[in-house]
Structure 1
Amino acid sequence: MAEGFRPREKQPSRPTSGTDPAQRTLSNRTIAICAGVLLLFAIAACWLLLLLYGRGTDADKARLEGVRTVGTIVLGAGGAVALLLAARRQQTAEQDLANKRHDVMLREQANHDARHDAAERRISDLYLKAVEQLGADKAPVRLAGLYALDRLAQDNPPQRQTIINVISAYLRMPYELPDKSPDFDAEKEIHDEYKSDIQEREVRVTAQRILTDHLDPNYRDGSRFWPDIDLDLSGALLIDVMFRDCRLNNARFSNARFCGDTLLMGIQFDGDTRFDGVTFTGDTWFSEAQFTGNVRFDQATFEAGVRFDKSSFKGTATFRAATFLREARFKSTTFTGSVVFSRATFTNSANFEDATFFEDAYLPGVTFAHRSYFTEASFAGDAWFNQVTFSSYTTFDGATFDGDVRFTDSTLDGVPFIPAQLRPYKSVDDE
């Protein structure tokens, strides 16, 4: 064989028609020919049977009956085969339909996943951009970041708790209220610093307002209410707080500072609530507040007046070592759980008129440096006033005690306390 010569490869044969033979369907002409052949075969078979067994004898009749029986069996078997083939075709068609439906579901799921991923990427991009704005140097940019987070959470409920956590973390960042405005002759750096502090104050007040708007079920007919939100503002500096009629879940305010007046009237605290170590610099209102879980005011300081009038404590309430520098009012307050005021100090008047204590009330080591009123108070459980310091004007008029009452080592204006000195007051044990 000569070098470089290669035998010519045999080319695969191609069908003469434009379609694949395996996919060809029977034409009308082919069907007509097959039907004619079957008809001729049937006529020939009938003629042959008549020729052979058509003489009418008993033997011929028996043979014809046998042929008929065999034919019937053959036709029955053919019908059964046809039914099996039809069932197989039906099963194949149903399987094909199921496969098509499965393919459609897979495509729809893929499209849904793609849309979901795109939405998640969009939300992540908006979130990251808003957080970057919140960390900007200029106050207007930080305000824009707050409003962007607000809008993002309103449109995406699953992101609300995360965004609340971000805003809360911002409020927990170190900050001090600016002093009075500097003199005109002060250095430019002082004026710029004061201006920056004032702008940051506005940003923080806006962040607080966003929280209150979304925690109030009645705000804008509840369309902007975010339910079941946990709030952690531990160590935050809060300015002129107004959480009226809001609902908070597992609220944490430990070691926070409430500057200015604080309005928490009608608020509902769900879950455990903590105000331990808190400082209230202005007047504070907890009137008609509801504490559904345990609440702690341990070592809290109330520098101005505080009112818990008509508020309710359903869990355990503790005010250990709390300091009340001005008037403290618990008028018509309901303590469903036990209450502890151990080592609390009431520098000004303490008013517990019409208060109801359904469980034990522990007030060991409490100091009432001014007037204290327990008029018409009701103690359903034990009431321990051990080592309590009472002032000269203390009244238990109309108070009722259903449990164990103790005034061990208590004093009244520096002398040993004698319960009879507080007469008239009504004790159940005296009846």
Structure 2
Amino acid sequence: MAGGESEQRALSNRAILMCAAGLVAFAVGASWLLLGLYGHGSDAEKARLESIRTVGTIVLGAGGAIALLLAARRQQTAEHDLATKRHDLVLRERANDDARHDAEQRRITDLYHKAVEQLGSDKAPVRLAGLYALDRLAQDNPPRRQTIVNVISAYLRMPYELPRQPVAQDADKDVRDEYRSELQEREVRITAQRILTDHLAPNHSDGTRFWADIDLDLSGALLIDLMLHDCELNGARFINATFTGETLLLGITFNGSTRFDGATFERDAWFAEASFNDSVRFDRVTFCRDARFDETTFVGNTSFRDARFSRDARFDKTTFSGKAVFSGAAFARDANFTSASFSDDAWLPGVNFGRDARFVAATFAGDAWFSQVSFSSFTTFAGTTFTGDIRFEDSTLDGVAYVPQERNPRPVDDDLT
């Protein structure tokens, strides 16, 4: 490129010299011509003076033209030098930006590695410092948020048991230290949960702390008093997780596929007004206390295969837009589906209703399968509408074979007692 610029400059200088030589030759030629024409005759002196004046004018004009060419060349050279300096400045600024970016990335990477190392410390305060460092790092660097959520989730998936009953004062020092360590780890885990939940709610505070498009994998984790209120998640996996204490997932939105297979809820589980916008599975889930799904919306296919409801289960005003499968589920106490809406097929073969089963004002738009269902105590389908096929083959009511009197799409108004 430098050779091309030198060649262009040489060509420009050569052009200027050629123009200047041409102008001088023109001026000299014109002068000799004029002197030859007007240098003889009676008015020779007068003509010679006039010729000299004309020649002078031509020479001055030629000199002015040469001066203009030189000025234009200087302007061109100055503009070229300025453009070169600007180009060099842009290159330097770009190099500086790249250097700053590389330095910033190295700093972020160093902070990340240091925080992860702190999570592996045997001292609870150091682990807490690592969690807060990851929280701050993710808040300031959105592209790293999912990675940091994965790290915190992996920490919560590590094996852990809740502290035992308080140890006696006269217990061995090792026993007291172990108990104290378990209490400290409990606080670390609650902090990790809080960091996750604080960033999943779009409407909390001013919204700047919301982390959008987050996937959460807490499979096998021990979760303590988990509370998610008006939060929003993409995919969520809680396979074989244990929820100890109260579990509140109120108004939460799951945009992706959600899995609770094999999970255990040791106390009350509240999913009221939640929205599952994709498929969800609660297969083999154990609800040790009450399970509340009031006004919950299931958009995709929903499965509660072999789920165990140890106490009351409420699905009041719940909407099942996809297929709803409760095959082999067991309700030890009341099962309430008042005003529930099944837009697609509802599969409940082999379900065991241990006490009251209420399907008051429910709507079954697709087929409803109640084959081999065991109804106990009080059962009602009052005001329920069946649009598709209804099957009750081999079902029993208080141990007696149940044969419904009608199988049609009209509302069922009788109580089955």
Instruction: Please classify the TM superposition score into its range, dividing by the shorter chain length.
Output: 0.7 to 0.9
Q: Which amino acid aligns with 1:153?
A: A
Aligned-pair CA distance for 1:94: 5.9
Structure 1 counterpart of 2:285, from 293, 300, 304: 300
1:4 is aligned to: none
Structure 2 counterpart of 1:405, from 367, 390, 394: 390
The 2-side partners of 1:221 and 1:44 are apart by 88
Aligned-pair CA distance for 1:417: 1.2
Structure 2 counterpart of 1:215, from 200, 204, 207: 200
Q: Which moved more, 1:394-403 or 1:41-50?
A: 41-50
The 1-side partners of 2:405 and 2:76 are apart by 98
2:152 is aligned to: 167
* Closer/same/farther in 2, CA of residues 258 and 55 from structure 1, 3 Å limit: farther
Deviations 1:263-290 (A, max 9, x none): 0011111111111111000101000001
Q: Which amino acid aligns with 1:392?
A: S
Describe the SS at the equivalent of 2:360.
coil
The 2-side partners of 1:242 and 1:96 are apart by 66
Aligned-pair CA distance for 1:109: 1.3
Q: Which amino acid aligns with 1:327?
A: D
1:152 is aligned to: 137
Structure 1 counterpart of 2:258, from 269, 273, 276: 273
* Closer/same/farther in 2, CA of residues 140 and 300 from structure 1, 3 Å limit: same
1:256 is aligned to: 241
* Closer/same/farther in 2, CA of residues 390 and 43 from structure 1, 3 Å limit: closer
The 2-side partners of 1:427 and 1:54 are apart by 139
Deviations 1:292-333 (A, max 9, x none): 111110111100001000010011111111110110000000
2:219 is aligned to: 234
Deviations 1:332-381 (A, max 9, x none): 00111111111111111100000001111111111111111000000011
Structure 1 counterpart of 2:35, from 9, 26, 48: 48
Describe the SS at the equivalent of 2:226.
coil
1:126 is aligned to: 111
Give 1 or 2 for the bigger CA radius of gyration.
1
Q: Which amino acid aligns with 1:137?
A: D
Structure 2 counterpart of 1:283, from 264, 268, 283: 268
Aligned-pair CA distance for 1:184: 2.2
1:316 lines up with 2:298 in the alignment: no
1:181 is aligned to: 166
Describe the SS at the equivalent of 2:146.
helix
The 2-side partners of 1:112 and 1:96 are apart by 24
Q: Could you tell me the TM-score, scaled by structure 2's length?
A: 0.82
Aligned-pair CA distance for 1:389: 1.0
1:191 lines up with 2:191 in the alignment: no
Deviations 1:108-134 (A, max 9, x none): 111111000110111111111111111
* Closer/same/farther in 2, CA of residues 41 and 191 from structure 1, 3 Å limit: same
The 2-side partners of 1:39 and 1:272 are apart by 90
Q: Which moved more, 1:197-206 or 1:403-412?
A: 403-412
Aligned-pair CA distance for 1:92: 6.4
Aligned-pair CA distance for 1:51: 3.1
The 1-side partners of 2:168 and 2:147 are apart by 43
* Closer/same/farther in 2, CA of residues 238 and 88 from structure 1, 3 Å limit: same
Q: Which moved more, 1:405-414 or 1:393-402?
A: 405-414
Describe the SS at the equivalent of 1:222.
coil
The 2-side partners of 1:360 and 1:40 are apart by 105
Q: Which amino acid aligns with 1:129?
A: K
Aligned-pair CA distance for 1:157: 1.1
The 1-side partners of 2:96 and 2:310 are apart by 65
Aligned-pair CA distance for 1:83: 10
* Closer/same/farther in 2, CA of residues 91 and 387 from structure 1, 3 Å limit: farther
1:10 is aligned to: none
Aligned-pair CA distance for 1:84: 9.7
Q: Which amino acid aligns with 2:151?
A: V
The 2-side partners of 1:420 and 1:304 are apart by 35
Residues 382 and 412 in structure 2, CA contact (< 8 A), matched pair in contact too = no
The 1-side partners of 2:133 and 2:236 are apart by 24
The 2-side partners of 1:261 and 1:275 are apart by 16
Describe the SS at the equivalent of 1:321.
coil
1:25 is aligned to: none
The 2-side partners of 1:145 and 1:384 are apart by 53
The 2-side partners of 1:180 and 1:155 are apart by 41
Aligned-pair CA distance for 1:105: 2.2
Q: Which amino acid aligns with 2:169?
A: F
Aligned-pair CA distance for 1:54: 7.0
The 1-side partners of 2:247 and 2:372 are apart by 32
* Closer/same/farther in 2, CA of residues 301 and 83 from structure 1, 3 Å limit: farther
Aligned length: 377
Q: Which moved more, 1:200-209 or 1:152-161?
A: 152-161
Q: Could you tell me the TM-score, scaled by structure 1's length?
A: 0.80
Structure 2 counterpart of 1:202, from 163, 175, 187: 187
Aligned-pair CA distance for 1:102: 3.0
The 2-side partners of 1:40 and 1:276 are apart by 102
1:393 lines up with 2:378 in the alignment: yes
Q: Which amino acid aligns with 2:268?
A: D
1:104 lines up with 2:89 in the alignment: yes
Stretches of structure 1 lacking an aligned partner (at least 5 in a row): 1-33, 57-63
Aligned-pair CA distance for 1:42: 8.5
